[in-house]
C-alpha cells in the first residue's frame, strides 16, 4: 500500500515572473534570429536566467561576454541590463548591426544620469557593485562623476566635496525597503540632494516584493524561483525572510530540497522577473510528486505594461 502524501497548501504570489522588459528582451533575440537567421550574438546573458538563455541558444543565439568575441558581419544584441556608451560606439565603429534590448526603464535611468551630469551634479548611485546594470549606468557618464552607494553604512560615511551639488539615482532591481533607508540617510545628511523625477526601482520589482509581503506572513516557508545572479530574485528571498518566512532560491523543480520542506504545511511560491511561468508550473508539479497539493488563489496587482520593440524588428 502506497504511503499517503502529506498535505501542502500553495500560495502562489501575484504578480510574479516575467516583466515587460524581460519579455521584450527575449522577444528581440527571437525575432532577430527569425529575421537574420542563426547565429545571432548576444553580449552577456540577455536576462539572468539559465533556462531562458539555454532556450535561446537552442534557437541559434550565441552568448559572449564581450563585443570583441562577436565576428564581423553578424547581428549582436545588447542585454536587458544596459551597456556602457562605449559598447554601441565600438559596434558602430566596426560596422556591426546591433539591437539594443536594454529595458526602457533602465534607459530612463541612463537619460536621467546624462541630464544630471549636464546640469553639474555629482550622482550618488544606489546599487550593487559589479551588477551589469550598474556597470552600464556608470558607463553613461564621465569617470569620477558618479559614486556607488551600496549600503546604509556607506550612505552614512560618504564624504563628497563641500561645494558639490548632489543628486541620487538607483538601480531598478533593488529592495524597496533597503533603498528607502539609504535614501533617508542621504536626504538627512544632504537636504538639498536632487531626487529622481520618478521612482527608479521598476514597477515589476516593487510589485513582486509587495506580492511576497502579502503572503509571507501566512507561509511556513517560501520558494523563490530565479537565478543566483538575478538581483530582483535575491531581493525577493530577502523580503520573505524579513517578513518572517524561511525562504530559499531555486532555479527550477529539480533543485527543491525536500528535507528543507519537512513540516511545512503552507508554502509560498514566487518567481523573479526573469523566470518564466513554465518554471513555476514545473516547481508545482515537482511538489505534487511529494505532497497532496492544494493551490490557493492569490489576488494581486494586474500588470499590463508593454514595451515597444525596436523599429527594425516590429515587422518581423
Residues carrying an active site annotation: 133
Going from the C-alpha of 99 to that of each of 59, 88, 307, the distances in angstroms are 17, 9, 15
Q: What is the DSSP string of 213-243?
A: HHHHTT-SEEEEES-TT-HHHHHHHHHHHHT
Going from the C-alpha of 185 to that of each of 155, 179, 196, the distances in angstroms are 6, 10, 16
Name the grid cell of 147.
559614486
Asked if 294 and 40 count as a contact pair (C-beta separation under 8 A), the reply is no
Which residue, 62, 77, 49, is CA-closest to 309? Answer: 77
User: 26-30 — which CB contacts under 8 Å span 24+ positions?
Assistant: 26/52, 26/56, 27/309, 28/77, 28/99, 28/101, 28/309, 28/310, 28/313, 29/56, 29/59, 29/61, 29/77, 29/101, 30/56, 30/59
Name the grid cell of 302.
494586474
Asked if 113 and 123 count as a contact pair (C-beta separation under 8 A), the reply is yes
Q: How far apart are CA 254 and CA 250, in angstroms?
A: 9
Q: How far apart are CA 309 and CA 29, in angstroms?
A: 11
**Backbone torsions φ then ψ of 40, nearest 5 degrees:** -110, 125
The distance from CA 157 to its chain's CA centroid, rounded to whole angstroms, is 28
Going from the C-alpha of 50 to that of each of 13, 22, 150, 205, 274, the distances in angstroms are 22, 13, 26, 20, 10
Amino acid at each position: 500500500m502506497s504511503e499517503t502524501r502529506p498535505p501542502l497548501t500553495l500560495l502562489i504570489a501575484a504578480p510574479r515572473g516575467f516583466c515587460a522588459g524581460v519579455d521584450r528582451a527575449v522577444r528581440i533575440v527571437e525575432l532577430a534570429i527569425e529575421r537574420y537567421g542563426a547565429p545571432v550574438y548576444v553580449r552577456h546573458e540577455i536576462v539572468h536566467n539559465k533556462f531562458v538563455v539555454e532556450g535561446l541558444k537552442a534557437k541559434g543565439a550565441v552568448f559572449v561576454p564581450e563585443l570583441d568575441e562577436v565576428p564581423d558581419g553578424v547581428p549582436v544584441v545588447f542585454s536587458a541590463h544596459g551597456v556602457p556608451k562605449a559598447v554601441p560606439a565600438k559596434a558602430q565603429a566596426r560596422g556591426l548591426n546591433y539591437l539594443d534590448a536594454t529595458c526602457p526603464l533602465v534607459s530612463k535611468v541612463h537619460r536621467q544620469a546624462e541630464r544630471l551630469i549636464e546640469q553639474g551634479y555629482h550622482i550618488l548611485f544606489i546599487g550593487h557593485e559589479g551588477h551589469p546594470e550598474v556597470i552600464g549606468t556608470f558607463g553613461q557618464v564621465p569617470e569620477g562623476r558618479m559614486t556607488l552607494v551600496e549600503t546604509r553604512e556607506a550612505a552614512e560615511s560618504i564624504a563628497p566635496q563641500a561645494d558639490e551639488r548632489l543628486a541620487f539615482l538607483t538601480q531598478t532591481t533593488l529592495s524597496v525597503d533597503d533603498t528607502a533607508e539609504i535614501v533617508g540617510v542621504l536626504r538627512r545628511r544632504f537636504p538639498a540632494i536632487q531626487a529622481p523625477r520618478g521612482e527608479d526601482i521598476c514597477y515589476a520589482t516593487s510589485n513582486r516584493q509587495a506580492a511576497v509581503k502579502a503572503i509571507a506572513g501566512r507561509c511556513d516557508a517560501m520558494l523563490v524561483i530565479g537565478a543566483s545572479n538575478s538581483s530582483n530574485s535575491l531581493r525577493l528571498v530577502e523580503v520573505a525572510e524579513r517578513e518572517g518566512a524561511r525562504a530559499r532560491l531555486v532555479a527550477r523543480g529539480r533543485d527543491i530540497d525536500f528535507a528543507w520542506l519537512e513540516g511545512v504545511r503552507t508554502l509560498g511560491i514566487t518567481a523573479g522577473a526573469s523566470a518564466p511561468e513554465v518554471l513555476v508550473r514545473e516547481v508545482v508539479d515537482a511538489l505534487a510528486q511529494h505532497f497532496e497539493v492544494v493551490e490557493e488563489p492569490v489576488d494581486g496587482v494586474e500588470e499590463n505594461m508593454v514595451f515597444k520593440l525596436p523599429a527594425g524588428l516590429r515587422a518581423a
